[in-house]
Amino acid sequence: MSRFLQAAAYGVVQGGLLGLVAVGFSLVWGVMNVVNFSHGALAVAGAYVAWILNVRFGLDPFLAIPVVAVALFAFGYVVQRGLINLVINAPIFLTLLLTFGLNLVILNGLQLLFKADDRTIDTSYASQSFAIGAVNVPYGRLAACFLALGITVALALLMSRTRLGHAIGATGMDRGAARLMGIRARHIYAVTFGIAAALAGVAGTMIATVGSFNPTTTPGQLTLDAFVISVLGGLGNMYGALVGGLVLGIAESLGGLLLTGTWVNAIAMAVLIITLIIRPSGLIGKALYGGRVEV
Amino acid sequence: MSLLEVRNLDAGYGRIQVLWDVSIAVEPNQIVALVGANGAGKTTLLRALTGMIRIRSGSITFQDHEIAGSSIESIVELGIAHVPEGRRLFMGLTVRENLLLGGWRKNNRDLTRVIELFPALGERLNQTASTMSGGEQQMCAIGRGLMSMPNLLLIDELSLGLAPKTVDEIVARLPEIAASGTAVLLVEQDIDTALSISERAYVVETGRVTKSGISAELLADPTIQESYLGLASG
C-alpha cells in the first residue's frame, strides 16, 4: 500500500510538470494548427540555458527561470516570424516536416555545443524531502509542480481575461476576421510560439532540476509526452493540458510499479487510445479556437 | 476628392477573374449601395477593397492613399472597417469581447457609440456571441466594425438570414452612422431595401458595373424594376 501511495504521489508531482511541458505545445496546435515536433528540443534548450547559468554563475534554477523564459521567447518569436510563418497556410504535413527539421537542427546544435552527456542542475535541496506518513515528497519536485500549476493557471487567465489573450484566441478562431480587426496575425502567431517556447524552456529547467536531461533522448520523449497530453486533455485547452499531464503522470507512475520501465510509453499510448474512444474531443474538450475558419 | 475611389479594378480568386474593369466612388458621410444578383461579384469587390484577395490591375485610393496591394491590417488601420459576409463574429467570446477586439488597433475601449446605436447590445454585453439571434449578431458585427472608428464601413449582405422586420431595424441606423462621419458601402441582394436607404448605387452584373446613379432614380428605372423587383414594366 505504501508503495502504491508513494507512486501516486510521485505521479502527481511529475504530472504537474508534464502538464507544463504540454501546455505550450497544445496552445500552438490549437491556435495555429501546427504540430510542433521541436517542442521537446525547445524544452531541452531551456534546460541548457539554466544549466549554464548554474554552472558558470551559481544561479539557482528557480531564479534562472525569468532569463530562460525571455531567451526562449525571443528564440521562439524569431523562429515563427522568420520560418514557420512562411508555410503557415500550407497543409499540416508541411509544417510538421518543417518543425521536425527544426527539431533535428536544435538537437544537433545542442549536441555539438554540450556533448551528449546526461546533465543535471545540482541544488542543495534536490535530494531533501519531507514525509507524509509513509510517503516521501521531495522539496524540489513539489516546488516544480506548484510552479507548473501556477504558470498554467496564469496562461489560462492570460487567454481568457486579457486583450492579448483574446487576440490570440480570435486569430486562432478566424484569422481572416481577426485581421479585419487590424490584429497582425503574423505577429500574434510569433507571440504565441514565443510563449510556447518560453513555457517549454521553463519546464525543461524544472526537469533538469528534479532529474536529468540530454540532447539525444530527452527532446523526443518530451515531445511525445506533450503530444499525448494535448490530445488527451483537449487541443488548445490550458486546463486540459494540466489534467492530461496529471493523468499521464499518475498512469505512468503506477504502471511503472507493475511493469518494467520500457513499458511506460505503451501505457501513455494506451491511456490516449482509451480516452479517445470514450471522449474524442479530449478529457476537458477542445478550446473554442479548436475549429477554425481560414480567410 | 472622393473618400474612396476605385478605378478600372480587375480581381478574382486564383486564375479565375471575377471583377472586370470596375470603377466606383464613395463620398464622405454617404451611403452607397452595391446591388446585383447572387454571384455577381459584390462580395468579391468588398474583399478586394480590404486586401482579402489579390488585385490584378486597377487602383484603389482611400483618403489619398493608394491601397491596392496593401495588407489587410494596414488597410484597416487607415480607417476602413469590413463587416464580412456571414458576420464572422468570434463565437465563443462575449459581445463585449467581440466589440473590444473591433477596437483592437486603435485601442478603443469606449462602447458608448455602439450601445447608443444598438441598445439591444448594451443589455447583452456579457452574453456569448453564438447564443444570440441573427439580428443581434449582425448588430454586434456592425458594432465591432464601428469600434475602430472608421471613415468607411463596408457591410456585406446585411439582410442575410434575417427577418424583414429585423433588417428594417438595423438598416434604419445606417443614416445615423453615415451622418456621424462613417460612410457606408452596403452590399445587398434585397435591392428594394438597398436603394431606399442609399444615396447612390451601383448595379453589378457578372463582375461588371452595368448601371450607376442616384438610388431613387435607379429605383424608378423600369429595367431595374423588371429584372430585380419582379414588376412588369409599363
* ipTM attached to this prediction: 0.93
Domain ranges of chain A: 2-293
For chain B, say whether A56 makes contact (Cβ under 8 Å): no
| Pairwise CA distance, residues A238 & B165, whole Å | 43
Q: Which of B232, B213, B90 is nearest to A170 (CA)?
A: B90
The interface residues of chain A toward chain B in range 57-76, judged by CB-CB distance below 8 A, are: none
Q: Does residue B234 carry a pLDDT above 50? A: no
Rounded to the nearest angstrom, the minimum Cα separation between B110 and chain A is 14
For chain B, say whether A142 makes contact (Cβ under 8 Å): no
| Pairwise CA distance, residues B128 & B131, whole Å | 6
The pLDDT, as a whole number, for residue A289 is 65
- Is B52 in contact with A295 (Cβ distance < 8 A)? yes
Rounded to the nearest angstrom, the minimum Cα separation between B204 and chain A is 24
Per CB-CB distance under 8 Å, the chain A contacts of B88 are 174, 176-177, 293
Which stretches in chain A have pLDDT values below 50? Answer: 291-295
Q: Which of B211, B219, B134 is nearest to B170 (CA)?
A: B134
Q: Does residue B30 carry a pLDDT above 70? A: yes
First to last CA, chain B: 39
Task: Summarize pLDDT for B137-161 with one digit per residue, the tens.
Answer: 999 999 999 999 999 999 999 999 9
- Is B104 in contact with A293 (Cβ distance < 8 A)? no
CATH 1.10.3470 holds for A2-293:
yes
Residue of A166, A179, A295 with shortest CB distance to B93? A166
For chain B, say whether A173 makes contact (Cβ under 8 Å): yes
The pLDDT, as a whole number, for residue A29 is 92
Q: Does residue B80 carry a pLDDT above 90? A: yes
- Is B52 in contact with A182 (Cβ distance < 8 A)? no
- Which residues, including other chains, have CB under 8 Å from residue B234's CB and lie 6 or more apart? B222
Interface test with B, best of A85, A181, A237, A292 (most B CBs within 10 A): A181
Interface test with B, best of A162, A180, A184, A237 (most B CBs within 10 A): A180
Per CB-CB distance under 8 Å, the chain B contacts of A167 are 101, 104
- Is B101 in contact with A180 (Cβ distance < 8 A)? no
Per CB-CB distance under 8 Å, the chain B contacts of A182 are 73, 76-77, 104-106, 148
Q: Do residues A259 and A267 lie in contact, with contact meaning Cβ atoms separated by under 8 Å?
A: yes
| Pairwise CA distance, residues A250 & A3, whole Å | 13
The pLDDT, as a whole number, for residue A290 is 54
| Owner of C-alpha cell 519531507 | A130
- Which residues, including other chains, have CB under 8 Å from residue B231's CB and lie 6 or more apart? B225
The pLDDT, as a whole number, for residue A288 is 62
The pLDDT, as a whole number, for residue A262 is 75
Q: Which of A14, A25, A22, A21 is nearest to A251 (CA)?
A: A14
The pLDDT, as a whole number, for residue A50 is 98
Task: Summarize pLDDT for A237-264 with one digit per residue, the tens.
Answer: 889 999 999 999 999 899 888 887 778 7
Q: How many CB pairs under 8 A join A and B?
A: 66
Query: The pTM is what?
Result: 0.92
Q: Is the dihedral of CA A169, B137, B143, B123 positive or negative?
A: negative
The pLDDT, as a whole number, for residue B226 is 82
- The stretch B131-135 carries a mean pLDDT of 95
- Is A181 in contact with B101 (Cβ distance < 8 A)? yes
The pLDDT, as a whole number, for residue A294 is 43
| Pairwise CA distance, residues B233 & A33, whole Å | 55
Q: Supply the mean pLDDT for chain B.
A: 94
| Candidate from A254-258, B15-19, B200-204 with smallest mean pLDDT | A254-258
- Is A181 in contact with B93 (Cβ distance < 8 A)? no
For chain B, say whether A234 makes contact (Cβ under 8 Å): no
- Is A174 in contact with B76 (Cβ distance < 8 A)? no
